[in-house]
Amino acid sequence: MSDPTLPRWKPSVTVAAVIERDGRFLLVEEHTPEGLRLNNPAGHLDPCESPEQGCARETLEETAHTFTPTALVGVYLSRFQRGDEDITYVRFAYCGEVGECDPTRVLDTGIVRTLWLTAQEIRQSADRHRSPLVLQCLEDYLVGKRYPLDLVCTDASVWTTK
């Protein structure tokens, strides 16, 4: 039973894309308080969008590539602690179809560049990953974990504004 005197626990929902092309995977290099880190194209779910929509939006913002999710790779829970920060993340990771890069599009704030890396290069750079979920999502993808998109149901009330 939860303690009613404590604030309600509210994990942060994030989305991430596992994108493969010709045996290489699309990652972003981004500024973080810990320095330059590698991450999947990923970010926070915004109001009034489904996880699929959020994943497509974040991928476009961070890589200048369009992305259409075709399967859910997995749902992940992780905890990040730094100083007074203590955040639990719920990550929805998708794989799918990536479009060509729009060279006129400016990458999201904090993104330094995009990189196409092999699975081995990603494994070897684990000390530079923003989160342990970068590698976990890759490994799950590589062993063939794929779940239908309709496993995650977004109720119509999500798109209702007052």
Q: Does residue 153 belong to any structural domain of this protein?
A: no
**Do you know the residue count of the chain?**
162
User: String of b and e for 98-122 (b: at least 16 CB within 10 Å)?
Assistant: beeeeeeeebbeebeebbebebeeb
- 30 falls within a domain: yes
* Residue located via tokens 């330094």: 112
Q: Which domain covers residue 69, as residue numbers? A: 12-148
Q: How far is CA 144 from CA 24, 57, 67, 72, in A?
A: 16, 24, 19, 11
On the question of pLDDT at 104 being above 80, the answer is yes
Q: Is residue 16 part of a domain?
A: yes
Write the CATH number for 54. 3.90.79.10
**DSSP label at residue 107:** P
How far is 106 from 32, CA to CA, in rounded Å? 19
Secondary structure (H, E, C), 16-60: EEECEECCEEEEEEEEECCEEEEECCEEECCCCCCHHHHHHHHHH
pLDDT tens-digit series, residues 47-96: 999 999 999 999 999 999 999 999 999 999 998 888 888 888 999 999 99
Residue 61 lies in a domain: yes
**Residue 1 is assigned to a structural domain of this protein:** no
Per residue in 27-57, pLDDT (tens digit) is 999 999 889 999 999 999 999 999 999 999 9
Query: What confidence tier does 5 reach under pLDDT thresholds 50, 70, 90?
Result: confident
Per the structure block, which two tokens stand in for 57? 């939006």
Percent of the chain beyond pLDDT 70?
99
| CA 80 from centroid of its chain's CA atoms | 15
Within-domain flag for 6? no
Is there a domain that residue 4 lies in? no
CA pair distance 57, 45, nearest whole angstrom: 9
Cα 50–Cα 56–Cα 60 angle in degrees, nearest 5: 145
Q: Is 22 inside any structural domain?
A: yes
The string of DSSP codes covering 113-146 is EEEEE-HHHHHHTGGGBSSTHHHHHHHHHHTT--
Total number of domains constituting the chain: 1
